[in-house]
């Protein structure tokens, strides 16, 4: 089986993309989704949140993992199909997906390919992972896929440098898009459909020549797809379940923001004591302004209404691809030995703030008294993530924050 293949996408009908497109299911709480869909006079009857967060259509307090929720998702999907809001392409296609995110220094643009990626290559690690998954989150996605007989949440993948693939995908994204939606957060989502069989075959061959693809975001979705495929193979139901829905971007276009840390106390230390002990592993400089780290190995620390710049001493940076990450250096030389934060997953004294919220959010959390100290990090780079995946290791928790996010509902993968 090829690394990727074209498929018959399930998409919003002409003119319906704006009504259907929704934020990813895992970035909203049930209450936030309910406000988006049911707020206002008209509401959003065709929002894909009715499928990805169907508890919003059930009584308050409904367990989002109850059988009734998955049944409601299937009911809502059937309703959108019956109403002609969602339609399926007649033949296998590839789709170009362009994201445009406005920024203070110009737009960030990335253009990728919507495809069905091989479960077998995921299982053999040709589609490489860098995170552990949680069984309960996998279970949720398995139940969602089985209830809908479709994969609706795309896995975000990256491919290594390929001028040929870049050109093939850019050639799809020409002329008027088949869907063009600017979401409430200002992100523009555009989709173009490629139906030409010869060009589809050429793209498939280009990706087949690649050594690997890399999961950027969506480990639970890909793991769930693998479980569904395995269960169907056991029962003799081999089908398009042997592929999973993915959007694949060139790694050099991917945008990772900083993933910052806040800690609620100083582990019994006074401010001056903490600074004194930090100086054993870092050079410490006072700063009259916010410290947004400009390179790896540099950190901002906000405490007691003051910013400081911390720079790890070069001799402490190892060669190991995981241990040399900034998130690891901060944990190994500060959070764990000085602040007693040994388990980032379970320790309730630490919280994480995505860089999309800015350094002002770190100041707010500390100045309010909720937290005692905040740390700003330099973003993890894609080449670092790929090196970790290539070494068959995993990233520390909360290492990457990808922006912009993909929308749900623009292309889904039905399991024939």
The reply to whether 390 falls in a domain is no
Express each pLDDT in 86-103 by its tens digit: 999 999 999 999 999 998
Same domain (yes/no): 159, 218 = yes
Lowest mean pLDDT across 101-105, 115-119, 140-144: 101-105
231-237, Cβ contacts within 8 angstroms, sequence gap of 24 or more: none
Q: Answer for the pair 17, 398: CB distance below 8 angstroms, yes or no.
A: no
Q: Which of 20-29, 169-178, 227-236, 288-297 has the lowest average pLDDT?
A: 227-236
* Domain identity same for 61 and 176: yes
Question: Total domain count for the chain?
Answer: 2
Both 164 and 268 in one domain: the answer is no
pLDDT, tens digit, 9 for 90 and up, residues 151-186: 999 999 999 999 999 999 999 999 999 999 999 999
Does residue 389 belong to any structural domain of this protein? Answer: no
Whether 271 and 246 share a structural domain: no
Find the domain containing 359 and state its range: 259-378
- Cβ atoms within 10 A of the Cβ of 171, count? 13
Residues 415/149, Cβ–Cβ less than 8 Å: yes
Q: Are residues 295 and 216 in the same domain?
A: no
The answer to whether residue 200 is domain-embedded is yes
The rounded mean pLDDT for the chain is 95
Of 300, 330, 169, 144, the residue nearest 228 (C-alpha)? 144
pTM: 0.92
pLDDT tens track for 340-381 = 999 998 899 999 998 888 999 999 999 999 999 999 999 999
Query: 160: helix, coil or strand?
Result: coil
**Percent of the chain whose pLDDT exceeds 90:** 88
Residues 6+ apart with CB under 8 A from 396: 322, 325, 327, 328, 331, 344
CATH number of the domain bearing residue 319: 3.30.1760
Distances (CA, A) of 294 to 4, 256, 291, 379, 392: 37, 14, 9, 9, 29
Residues 248 and 351 in one domain: no
Both 186 and 300 in one domain: the answer is no
pLDDT tens across 321-341, in order?
999 999 999 999 999 999 999
């Amino acid at each position: 089986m090829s690394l990727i293949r074209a498929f018959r996408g399930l998409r919003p009908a002409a003119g319906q993309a704006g009504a259907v497109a929704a934020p990813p299911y895992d970035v909203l709480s049930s209450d936030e989704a309910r406000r988006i869909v049911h707020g206002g006079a008209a509401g959003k009857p065709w929002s894909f949140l009715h499928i990805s967060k169907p508890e919003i259509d059930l009584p308050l307090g409904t367990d989002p993992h109850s059988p009734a929720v998955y049944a409601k998702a299937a009911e809502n999907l059937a309703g959108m199909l019956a109403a002609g809001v969602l339609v399926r392409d007649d033949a296998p296609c590839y789709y170009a997906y362009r994201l445009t995110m406005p920024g203070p220094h110009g737009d960030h643009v990335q253009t990728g390919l919507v495809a069905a990626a091989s479960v077998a290559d995921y299982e053999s690690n040709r589609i490489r992972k860098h995170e552990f998954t949680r069984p309960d989150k996998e279970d949720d996605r398995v139940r969602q896929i089985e209830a809908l007989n479709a994969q609706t949440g795309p896995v975000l993948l990256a491919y290594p440098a390929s001028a040929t693939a870049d050109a093939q995908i850019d050639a799809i994204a020409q002329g008027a898009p088949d869907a063009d939606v600017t979401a409430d957060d200002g992100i523009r989502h555009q989709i173009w459909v490629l139906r030409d069989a010869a060009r589809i075959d050429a793209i498939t061959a280009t990706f087949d020549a690649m050594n690997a693809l890399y999961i950027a975001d969506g480990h639970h979705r890909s793991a769930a797809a693998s479980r569904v495929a395995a269960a169907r193979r056991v029962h003799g139901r081999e089908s398009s379940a042997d592929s999973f829905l993915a959007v694949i971007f060139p790694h050099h276009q991917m945008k990772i923001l900083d993933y910052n840390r806040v800690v609620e106390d100083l582990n019994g230390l006074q401010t001056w004591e903490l600074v004194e002990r930090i100086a054993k592993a870092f050079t410490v400089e006072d700063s009259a302004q916010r410290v947004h780290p400009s390179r790896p190995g540099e950190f901002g620390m906000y405490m007691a209404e003051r910013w400081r710049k911390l720079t790890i001493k070069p001799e402490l940076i190892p060669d190991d691809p995981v241990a040399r990450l900034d998130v690891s250096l901060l944990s190994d030389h500060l959070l764990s030995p000085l602040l007693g934060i040994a388990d980032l997953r379970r320790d309730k004294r630490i919280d994480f703030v995505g860089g999309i919220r800015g350094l002002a959010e770190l100041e707010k959390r500390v100045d309010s008294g909720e937290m005692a100290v905040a740390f700003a990090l330099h973003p993890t780079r894609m080449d670092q993530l790929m090196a970790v995946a290539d070494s068959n290791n995993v990233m520390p928790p909360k290492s990457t924050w990808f922006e912009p996010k993909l929308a749900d509902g623009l292309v889904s993968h039905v399991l024939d």
